[in-house]
């Protein structure tokens, strides 16, 4: 699993009755392939995985892997219990995933030893590469640089780190200074701090922004050290990035529906749904940022 480039994190699409929409999963992945993504991630933090039962998880994974073909698929397998993560990993392996992504889990009494033991146990039984996700906003766990260094130094099986602990750039720079090319570190948080992370040495984007072609353009310009172009593209799309970063997944789903990638923007209860105000704001934003473009196809940057 090459954890670099642009690997979009996909939403879990639902029909109007909140059943899993397998057809939209396939449509979404076809769009990602057309855009040129290096892989996809499913059942991430905003993939509503905690609202799926085991049979639905398997349906999502199977549908994604069948549609992806040779495109690598990372499966989010985070859970509140270590054994549950291990079981999710086994299912992901059985169904053909390329890697899994795992966050630590919060305990009533914070403990670096428990976080270390959690991942030590997971990696001891992992048959797939593991992405370490540092996202305290969802996990409630703030992992220090020292804890991450200890896990990367002493545990085998990590294929990279997805860094979403703000401020992201200094932490990313610390990881890259210590490990260089040995450990891949990718940017999340909807690319909110994307330009700064690229300057700090990010290996790309593993996030759910609805226009991954923008992230590909940013990463390509950064590789060429064309920083004026990086910031020009970043400034152009920043209003859309910021608006999509509102809490929840409703806005991202509205955008993907507007792109024809999913059939409805339904969020599973009790999640907040899109509304007319959101739709009107997105229409205005898109008319300024990507005027006169067919959103169902890769947009021109």
Q: Which domains does the chain have, with CATH numbers?
A: 5-289 (3.20.20.70)
Question: Using an 8 Å Cβ cutoff, are 132 and 151 in contact?
Answer: yes
Q: What is the mean pLDDT of residues 53-79?
A: 97
pLDDT in tens, 156-178: 999 999 999 999 999 999 999 99
Write the CB contacts of 122 (distance below 8 Å, at least 6 apart in sequence): 82, 85, 86, 89, 102, 130
pTM of the model: 0.96
Is the pLDDT confidence value at 22 over 80? yes
Burial class (CB in 10 A: 0-12, 13-18, 19+), 292: exposed
**Residues pairing with 100 in the sheet:** 75, 130
Arithmetic mean of pLDDT over the chain:
96
pLDDT in tens, 171-226: 999 999 999 999 999 999 999 999 999 999 999 999 999 999 999 999 999 999 99
In this prediction, residue 221 carries a pLDDT of 98
């Amino acid at each position: 699993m090459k954890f670099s480039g642009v690997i979009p994190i996909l939403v879990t699409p639902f029909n109007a009755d909140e059943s899993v929409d397998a057809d939209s999963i396939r449509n979404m992945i076809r769009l990602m392939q057309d855009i040129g993504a290096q892989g996809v991630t499913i059942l991430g933090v905003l993939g509503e995985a905690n609202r799926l039962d085991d049979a639905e998880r398997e349906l999502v994974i199977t549908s994604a892997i069948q549609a992806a073909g040779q495109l690598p698929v990372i499966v989010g397998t985070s859970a509140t219990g270590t054994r549950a993560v291990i079981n999710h990993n086994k299912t992901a392996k059985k169904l053909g995933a390329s890697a899994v992504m795992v966050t630590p889990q919060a305990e009533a009494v914070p403990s670096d030893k428990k976080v270390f033991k959690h991942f030590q146990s997971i990696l001891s039984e992992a048959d797939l590469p593991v992405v370490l996700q540092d996202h305290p906003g969802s996990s409630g766990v703030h992992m220090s640089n020292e804890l991450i260094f200890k896990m990367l130094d002493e545990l085998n099986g990590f294929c990279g780190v997805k860094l979403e602990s703000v401020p992201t750039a200094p932490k990313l720079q610390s990881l890259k200074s210590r490990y260089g090319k040995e450990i891949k570190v990718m940017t999340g948080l909807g690319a909110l701090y994307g330009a700064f992370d690229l300057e700090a040495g990010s290996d790309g984007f593993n996030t759910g922004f609805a226009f991954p072609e923008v992230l590909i353009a940013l990463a390509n310009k950064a590789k060429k050290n064309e920083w004026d172009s990086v910031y020009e593209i970043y400034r152009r799309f920043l209003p859309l990035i910021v608006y999509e970063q509102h809490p929840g997944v409703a806005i991202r789903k509205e955008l993907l529906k507007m792109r024809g990638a999913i059939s409805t923007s339904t969020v599973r209860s009790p999640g907040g749904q899109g509304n007319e105000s959101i739709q009107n704001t997105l229409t205005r934003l898109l008319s300024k940022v990507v005027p006169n473009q067919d959103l169902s196809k890769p947009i021109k940057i």
